[in-house]
Amino acid sequence: MSLKESQVMGYNAAMGLGLTEEMRKDERIFVLGQGMVNGGWFGTERGLINEFGPERVLDTNISEAFQAGMTAGAAIAGLKPVINMGFGDFALIAGDEIFHKLAKWRYMHGVRAPMTAVVIFPIGVIGGAGPEHSSCTEVLGMHFPGLKVVVPSTPADAKGLMKAALREPNPVIYHSIQSLGWVKGEVPLDPDFVVPLGQAAIRREGTDATVVTYGSMVQRCLEAADTLADADISLEVIDLRSLVPLDWGTVLTSVRKTHRVMVVHEAVKTAGAGAEIAAYIMEEAFFELEAPVLRLGALDVPLPQNARLEQLCIPSVPAIVAEARKLVAI
């Protein structure tokens, strides 16, 4: 019997595959959220109801606080809940349950047992969903100790990080990237394939400058690197994949190689993850730097509803190219 090693599939489908494989292995895993029975908001949970039935696939009412509260309760009771918030912006309604209960209960109540929970917390633009449905709030998870935060940028990572999150003893904020939901890629079919938390990927090796990025901006940074290669500027592109824990080892090794760094993300620049990353690099590797650490993020504006205007607010390939040129010229 010969098995295919990998298959081309969409990002959301790959998340679903990771979820399915883990649910088959571990009966404590169950999913909840709005529209779960119909496959979820974006198709991730398609077919789960058929395989696992209504006991493990719960359609909840429209109350994010209730859903997240149930998640926290189930997790501390020893189950492994997976909740899909739909649009990440809605998760803010459940801020107390996510950023206090899930993040802090293991600490507050001295829970020695694992407290596994995966909060699927989609972020970013999806083509004109407007200012209340397009935010990138991943920095919140970095700011509440107790949570792990992942930001997969490929279908393979979407699967591998989902599986890692379900084996992690602490609650994980799983930021699926809205704009990547239907992007296709090779996904390993090996049920033991896992992308460990806290492990960045060097997507492209380079020598002149390091671009630290994640999520929706990985592909754009790679395109920018292609463009700059024609001008003999060699960018190293690091996809962080996890923001908590953050793979500082990979980042700093690259800084020691290129001596120039910029951070690119879709989230607004001010007080975004890039601010933390830039500050950390300057604390740890200041005397490796030839230039200040630059940041490129979205404009500090509520995102417009118009999809074309929306694109003008977040970093484009030409903007990344321009910023990288500025960086290597310093």
Positions marked active-site: 133
Interacting residues of 13 by C-beta distance below 8 A, sequence separation 6+: 43, 44, 46, 155
Q: Pick between residue 65 and residue 291 the one whose CB is nearest to other proteins.
A: 291
What is the smallest separation between the CB atom of 273 and other proteins, expressed in angstroms? 23
3-class state of residue 76 by DSSP = helix
Q: Pick between residue 231 and residue 271 the one whose CB is nearest to other proteins.
A: 231
Q: Alpha helix locations (H) across 117-154?
A: 138-143
CA distance 259 to 252: 10
Q: Pick between residue 118 and residue 235 the one whose CB is nearest to other proteins.
A: 235
What is the smallest separation between the CB atom of 282 and other proteins, expressed in angstroms? 9
Q: Contact residues for other proteins (CB under 8 A)?
A: 259, 286-291, 330
CA distance 121 to 89: 8
What is the smallest separation between the CB atom of 209 and other proteins, expressed in angstroms? 13
Q: Pick between residue 26 and residue 290 the one whose CB is nearest to other proteins.
A: 290
Q: Alpha helix locations (H) across the chain?
A: 11-25, 48-56, 64-76, 88-91, 95, 103-108, 138-143, 155-166, 217-229, 248-258, 273-285, 307-313, 317-329
Q: Pick between residue 151 and residue 278 the one whose CB is nearest to other proteins.
A: 278
Quote the DSSP letter at residue 123: B
Residue 281: how many CA atoms within 13 Å on its side-chain side? 31
User: Are the CB atoms for 149 and 142 separated by under 8 Å?
Assistant: yes
What is the smallest separation between the CB atom of 296 and other proteins, expressed in angstroms? 21
Q: Which amino acid is at 213?
A: T
What is the smallest separation between the CB atom of 47 and other proteins, expressed in angstroms? 54
CA distance 75 to 316: 40
